[in-house]
Amino acid sequence: MISPIKFPRTTAMILAGGRVGELSVLTLERPKSALPFAGHFRIIDFPLSNLCCAGINNVGILSQYRPAPLIDHIGVGESWDFIGLDRGAKILPPYHAADGSDWYRGNADAIYQNLRYLKAQETAIALILSGDHVYTMDYRHLIRTHLEKRADLTIAFKKVQAKDRRFGYGQLGRNGRLLAYDEKPAEPRSDLASLTIYVFRMEALAEVLTGMGEFDSIEFGRDVIPAMLTRYRVFGYIFEGYWAYTRTVDAYYEAHCDLLRGKIGLENWMIRTNNNDNSLVRQTPPIFRAWTEAEGSLISEGCIIEGKVVDSVLGPGTRIGRGAVVESSILFNDVIVHPGARVREAIIDKRVIIGRNASVGMRPGAPGTQVTPQVSQKGITVVGKSARIADGIDVPRSGIVQPGALVEDRQEHHRSHPSGTAH
């Protein structure tokens, strides 16, 4: 831990409103930051808990795509002790004003549209975070580095082995000064990937964004960082802990695999409340029967397991019938797997019902029936919220079932659709 220090007034802004097509039916009805993680948590809980542990309790959450799940989950911020004098967590959607209204036109534009909010909080340091990353970070280390360098902007980077084109990459000098930055380059010149974690001196942030206010769209990686390199003091901070970007089905699935492997220590990742209870966990006791088999899995509260569960994550209220087998899968809350059913390498959204002797992800699809490109290179099967798989139906590997769909025709899930989903 770092020694106590009183930082200038800091306001955190979490970019939490987007939806990405790579997550398929999982984000049709929720923003990506509201995706469940580890059973009863949501991905946005990671930055919120990091802020709580760092004592940063003035938080704005920028959301525009289907914000209801975030509003319901976050409430007034009580679970992270954000309630009290001069603290709080506020959802900040795009506004409608006398001079017009706009959707957020990029992640930096979302901050630009809320400059008044930041100034009203008397912000000296603006901490900008992404809401869809899985990691534990003490932001006080980052802010202290920012202050010691007398920086206008400090960017958190992580060394990566596989250079993913979806990231921005920075090159740092010996003193940590950012020498060059490339946003989503075809051939990255560095192994330092940006984590979309920024610490700004408030005056510099307002000055840069105001100068770009007339742009059609404003992005931090594409517009703000390059513009600041020549005229401002921009530094990098290298983060060495675990970090996962859950932008794709495969990345989301792999982060859960890391959770089961022990790479993500939830016991060290504290979600605090005023009474030291975790109010995000449904108050339902776990129920296990004598014939239960559960190996290498995370089982949430309220689950009834009469079958076999291996290397899987089960959300609250999930029921596994006698003789059913769930392997290497992620089941959200209140899923019902009826007796004799089998599920393998699948992500099953909440309130899905899988019928007797049905199977999900057990076998490859019939030749010529797969749509391309597949949503998962790993062959993960995805079943949308409240879908129902009838008795005896086989949903193949890499299959996609729409939310609310009833799959009762043995050929129904093989039909190709322009969206890459099945009804």
Which pLDDT score is estimated for 139?
Answer: 95
**10-268: CATH homologous superfamily?**
Spore Coat Polysaccharide Biosynthesis Protein SpsA; Chain A (3.90.550.10)
How much is the pLDDT for 20? Answer: 61
pLDDT of residue 415: 40
pLDDT at 373 (0 to 100): 46
Q: What is the CATH number of domain 287-414?
A: 2.160.10.10
Mapped to the 3 state alphabet, what secondary structure does the chain carry? Answer: CCCCCCCCCEEEEEECCCCCHHHHHHHCCCCHHHCEECCCEECCHHHHHHHHHHCCCEEEEECCCCCHHHHHHHCCCHHHCCCCCCCEEEECCCCEECCEECCCCCHHHHHHCCHHHHHHCCCCEEEEEECCEEECCCHHHHHHHHHHCCCCEEEEEEECCCCCCCCEEEEECCCCEEEEEEECCCCCCCCEEEEEEEEEEHHHHHHHHHHCCCCCCCCHHHHHHHHHHCCCCEEEEECCCCEEECCCHHHHHHHHHHHHHCCCCHHHCCCCCCCCCCCCCCCCCCEECCCCEEECCEECCCCEECCEEECCEECCCCEECCCCEEECCEECCCCEECCCCEEECEEECCCCEECCCCEECCCCCCCCCCCCCCCCCCCCEEECCCCEECCCCEECCCCEECCCCEECCCCHHHCCCCCCCEC
**Per-residue pLDDT tens listing for the chain (423 residues):** 444 457 899 999 999 866 567 888 998 888 888 889 998 888 888 998 899 888 888 888 887 666 666 656 665 455 555 655 565 667 777 654 434 445 677 899 999 989 999 999 999 999 999 988 999 999 999 999 999 999 999 999 999 987 788 899 999 999 999 999 999 998 899 999 999 999 999 999 999 999 997 788 899 999 999 999 999 999 999 999 999 988 899 999 999 999 999 888 776 554 543 333 443 333 344 455 434 567 899 999 889 999 999 999 999 999 999 999 999 999 999 999 999 999 999 999 999 999 999 999 998 875 544 443 478 999 999 999 999 999 999 999 999 999 999 999 755 444 433 333 444
Q: How far is the CA of 126 from the CAs of 56, 58, 206, 331, in angstroms?
A: 11, 10, 10, 37
Domain spans in the chain, listed from the N-terminal domain onward: 10-268, 287-414
- The candidate with the shortest Cα–Cα distance to 386, out of 16, 25, 134, 70, is 25
Q: Residues in the chain, how many?
A: 423
Percent of the chain whose predicted confidence (pLDDT) is above 70: 77
